[in-house]
Amino acid sequence: MARYFTDEHEWIDVDGENATVGITDYAQGQLGDIVFVELPATGTMLDKGGDAAVVESVKAASDVYAPISGEVMETNDALEDDPALVNTSPEEDGWFFKMTVGDKGELEGLMDAKAYKAFCDEL
């Protein structure tokens, strides 16, 4: 399994033909207290870079983009009752959705953990 990062602060764990997507610890820190996560419906076809979810903090709504193209297979029901999971465990329990990997080629150009850390250090 490999984890990739986008420059829009999503992470994606790829395991064969399937992937899990969430937002990074850096992102949740910037957003502050998260009060609601609007997740895509199962079966939604996502386009790389297109709108996939919306995160509502106390003050603002922020769009989350699809790191790659594919179909939404499952969403994290735990976020419905406890959206603050995104704050407390953004890169594990606070995952957003699972999706198919439509085109492995789209993973090229995403960052690994080291590159993403360097990217955030520059911000």
Partner 1 sequence: MKLSGFPTEGAVPRFNPKPAESGTVMSDFDTGTDEEVIEVGTLPLDAWHRAQGARMVPFAGYHMPIQYAGPFGGIVAEHEWTRTSAGLFDVSHMGQLLLSGPDLDAAVEAVLPIDLSTLKLGQQRYSLFLDEEGGVLDDLMVSRWPEHLYLVVNGATKWDDIGHLREHLPDDITLNHLEDRALLALQGPKAADALARHVTGEYVLSDLTFMKFGQFKLAGHDVTIARAGYTGEDGFEISLPADAAEEIATLLCGEPEVKPIGLGARDSLRLEAGLPLYGHDLSPETSPIEAGLVFGINKRRRTEGGYPGAERINREIAEGTARNWVGLRLEGRMPAREGAEVFAGDTRVGTVTSGGFSPSLGYPIAMAYVAAGHAAPGTALDIEVRNKRLAATVVQTPFVPHRYYRGSK
- Cβ atoms of 116 and 5 within 8 Å: the answer is yes
CB atoms closer than 10 angstroms to residue 101? 18
- Comparing CB distances to partner 1, the nearer of 20 and 57 is 57
The verdict on 36 binding partner 1 (CB under 8 A) reads yes
Nearest to 53 by CA among 24, 10, 19: 10
The verdict on 89 binding partner 1 (CB under 8 A) reads no
Would residue 80 be called left, alpha or beta, if left means φ above 0 and alpha means ψ between -120 and 50 degrees? alpha
- Contact pick of 9, 19, 94, 116 for partner 1 (by CB under 8 A): 9
Contact segment (CB under 8 A) with partner 1 among 40-48, 63-71, 100-108, 111-119 equals: 63-71
| Interface residues toward partner 1, by CB under 8 A | 8-10, 23, 27, 30-33, 35-36, 38, 54-65, 83
